[in-house]
Amino acid sequence: EIVLTQSPDFQSVTPKEKVTITCRASQSIGSSLHWYQQKPDQSPKLLIKYASQSLSGVPSRFSGSGSGTDFTLTINGLEAEDAATYYCHQSSSLPITFGQGTRLEIK
């Protein structure tokens, strides 16, 4: 099983800050790594697919990078609406796995 480890688990940040969340895989997964945002009492929403591919309708302040075992989600210019929990997910092999989540609190 591929284990995904996110850091940090929690971060308290101020608006307009730059935020970086990392996801490390226990073995190489190429670029089969995706990022989701889940706001309280909502279902997850796909933010970035295949490590760095942006999606229509997702604000441009969200970007992703990495390949192999180390990946990063960056939020440039945090906004209050970005308060949420962020998860990484690998689709390289079964079983499908998720990171444990990173909760962002806006000060």
Partner 1 sequence: QVQLVESGGGVVQPGRSLRLSCAASGFTFNTYGIYWVRQAPGKGLEWVAVISYDGHNQYYADSVKGRFTISRDNSKNTLYLQMSSLRSEDTAVYYCAKGSGSYLTPFDHWGRGALVTVSS
Measure the CA–CA gap between 92 and 61, rounded to whole angstroms: 26
87 burial type by CB count under 10 A (0-12 exposed, 13-18 middle, 19+ buried): buried
Question: Which residues, numbered 1-30, are part of the site for partner 1 (CB under 8 A)?
Answer: none
Interaction between residue 37 and partner 1 (CB under 8 A): no
Interaction between residue 54 and partner 1 (CB under 8 A): no
Nearest Cα to Cα of residue 88 among 27, 38, 28: 38
Among 45, 69, 83, 106, binds partner 1 (CB under 8 A): 45
Q: Which stretch binds partner 1 (CB under 8 A): 16-24, 65-73, 75-83, 95-103?
A: 95-103
Among 21, 34, 62, 104, binds partner 1 (CB under 8 A): 34
